[in-house]
Chains A and B, each alone.
Chain A
């Protein structure tokens, strides 16, 4: 009967089309969350802004006429002057504000990412080990965290400045080594809950050792909280850096950072407002954007929202 309606032919074609239309690709929970994040308008705008600022900061210096450390003796403390190529004006020493801002943003972003990366890495490892092994090990490790919390943060930073004063990136590796405490607590709490889940028990029943379980079954399940926390740590480090620069402990001349730029121009805000306004605008944009992304991520990873 097959020949009469040529149904078989149609069905075969349909089946082939179906087979090709659904490529064998699973969507992970993280991919789902990222999809939801991109649908969040504020978060999407923030991502675009940050990418834009990052691009300008890292590529921009090749396109502006003045180097960030070059002094233009004919233009000291001058407002924006397009003819000379000082689009954002010049500072007290006659250096171009725009290229200094680009360099400063570069510095701020770099140290923020470096410090966050270091703190997240240490925090995950430490927290997951404490949480998974539990008992006495957990007690000891978390008491150490408590003690570290009690120490005055700024004291450590001053010691680090003395050691690493010449290299801002190393300085912020050091700051990352101080920032992991909260991350460790968050990860430990999550791990305590995760290790009671049946898939961890199933992995143990399959003969997986503790380190394999932590690596394959615990850490991947921490993606949500870790990503959210990391996104919120970045602006925190930018602020820390600005604060340290304000105290004169941060980045050293002739290099600069957003915090240094702001602190140096704060005193001259009435006579030369352009020195303060531009870097402050960039700093605020960055902070707000990261916060919005963190907020968007929290919504995107929210299990109740699925």
Chain B
């Protein structure tokens, strides 16, 4: 893989409430190389979206970010809005979950696409329209000239998500962050979208961050993955390693609760219990109340993220091989 385009260190996100604080993300570390696809996996409320919204400077008003997110030699976290606006849309782009609401209903598709080009690449309107229509063709929209003149409500969901992808890629960003881009689409369209993501990021050398809770999506296109729980990274490594040899009970639990086509006889094993309350995380390891492998140490001492093998890391006290039977017990 290429050189790192984004290095994130000690990233923490807190939200101030009326009389308390919620830590949505705590001490997140990772780096992203050019052209690579990184999947960020976790349940709702695990902090996966907030971590990347904070890097993009899109947190809610009461959110505060600390740590570093180095893009080249600028720390995106410290940038003022104006300075950040130079990078947003040009170097870093983001795609949101729901294509139905991510487009402005009052503007033609064309107008929304050219906006970024005019702002970041200083193109004139004619040039920008030409470029936009070419990009619409690239993302597989039939009759791009006609669609460019349509309003969003005249397009289908899959078509709108393609428009969103086109919009994000227009400035050839170094990093594309996709926040659950396929959740709102039906399964056949999902598969098309994933293929499209893969092709386009390959062609443009864009690093893709895929925030999702769908492990099927991860297996399809990601190179590396980060598993988050309770605002922290609990395991990271290559997708193959984590799928075939998970070392954190939570990763194993996620895999066990995913259906497999080949393996119909097996019962699905959902992780018992429910995600932790971020305002009041359990003492010790945040996962211990739901963990089948817990022992005394887990109740009192929080495991640190420790690297092992090459490029893998986990935060768990349990050192033996994880077995399926034990987790199902």
A-B interface pairs (CB < 8 A), number: 92
Docked-complex contact A198 and B102, CB < 8 angstroms: yes
Docked-complex contact A220 and B104, CB < 8 angstroms: yes
By a CB distance below 8 angstroms, the chain A residues around B120 are 207
Tell me, rounded to whole Å, the shortest Cβ–Cβ distance linking A26 to chain B. 4
Docked-complex contact A207 and B154, CB < 8 angstroms: no
Interface residues of B in 4-31 (CB under 8 A from A): none
Docked-complex contact A216 and B115, CB < 8 angstroms: yes
A250 to B268, CA, bound (A): 80
Docked-complex contact B96 and A201, CB < 8 angstroms: yes
Contact of B145 among A24, A29, A223 (CB under 8 A): A24
Size of the chain A interface, CB-CB below 8 angstroms? 28
A205 and B93 in contact, given A26-B150, A223-B106 (Cβ under 8 angstroms): yes
In the complex, whether A134 has a CB less than 8 A from a CB of chain B is: yes
Docked-complex contact A197 and B61, CB < 8 angstroms: no
A209 to B82, CA, bound (A): 7
Docked-complex contact B107 and A220, CB < 8 angstroms: yes
Tell me, rounded to whole Å, the shortest Cβ–Cβ distance linking A217 to chain B. 5
What 0/1 readout, one digit per residue, does chain A (5-40) give for beta carbons within 8 Å of chain B?
000000000000000001011111110000000000
What 0/1 readout, one digit per residue, does chain A (175-214) give for beta carbons within 8 Å of chain B?
0000000000000000000000111011111111100100
Docked-complex contact B146 and A22, CB < 8 angstroms: yes
In the complex, whether B318 has a CB less than 8 A from a CB of chain A is: no
What 0/1 readout, one digit per residue, does chain A (220-262) give for beta carbons within 8 Å of chain B?
1101000000000000000000000000000000000000000
A208 to B119, CA, bound (A): 8
A220 to B150, CA, bound (A): 16
Residue among A28, A201, A205 with the highest chain B CB neighbour number at 10 A: A205
In the complex, whether B149 has a CB less than 8 A from a CB of chain A is: yes
In the complex, whether A135 has a CB less than 8 A from a CB of chain B is: yes
A9 to B140, CA, bound (A): 28
In the complex, whether B105 has a CB less than 8 A from a CB of chain A is: yes
Tell me, rounded to whole Å, the shortest Cβ–Cβ distance linking A273 to chain B. 50
Q: How large is the interface on B (under 10, 10 to 19, 20 to 34, 35 or more residues)?
A: 35 or more
By a CB distance below 8 angstroms, the chain A residues around B88 are 204-207
Docked-complex contact B98 and A26, CB < 8 angstroms: no
Q: Name the residue of chain B whose CB is nearest to the CB of A31.
A: B151
A202 and B87 in contact, given A28-B106, A29-B151 (Cβ under 8 angstroms): no
By a CB distance below 8 angstroms, the chain B residues around A29 are 105-106, 151, 153
In the complex, whether B139 has a CB less than 8 A from a CB of chain A is: no
A205 to B85, CA, bound (A): 8
Tell me, rounded to whole Å, the shortest Cβ–Cβ distance linking B106 to chain A. 4
By a CB distance below 8 angstroms, the chain A residues around B105 are 29, 199, 221
Q: Name the residue of chain A whose CB is nearest to the CB of B145.
A: A24
By a CB distance below 8 angstroms, the chain A residues around B97 are 198
Interface residues of B in 120-147 (CB under 8 A from A): 120, 145-146
Docked-complex contact A27 and B154, CB < 8 angstroms: yes
In the complex, whether B58 has a CB less than 8 A from a CB of chain A is: yes
A205 and B106 in contact, given A24-B145, A24-B146, A25-B149 (Cβ under 8 angstroms): no
By a CB distance below 8 angstroms, the chain B residues around A24 are 145-146, 149
> Which residues of A are interface residues toward B (Cβ below 8 A)?
22, 24-30, 134-135, 197-199, 201-209, 212, 216-217, 220-221, 223
Known: A24-B149, A205-B93. 15 other contacts (CB 8 A): A26-B108, A26-B151, A29-B105, A134-B61, A198-B96, A198-B102, A199-B105, A201-B58, A205-B56, A207-B84, A207-B86, A207-B87, A209-B82, A212-B119, A220-B106
User: What are some 25 contacts across the A-B interface (CB < 8 A)?
Assistant: A24-B146, A24-B149, A26-B154, A27-B154, A28-B151, A29-B153, A135-B61, A197-B101, A199-B101, A202-B96, A202-B102, A202-B164, A203-B104, A204-B57, A205-B58, A205-B92, A205-B94, A206-B89, A207-B87, A207-B116, A207-B119, A208-B89, A217-B104, A220-B106, A221-B104
7 tightest A-B contacts by CB?
A207-B89, A206-B89, A207-B88, A220-B106, A205-B94, A26-B150, A207-B85
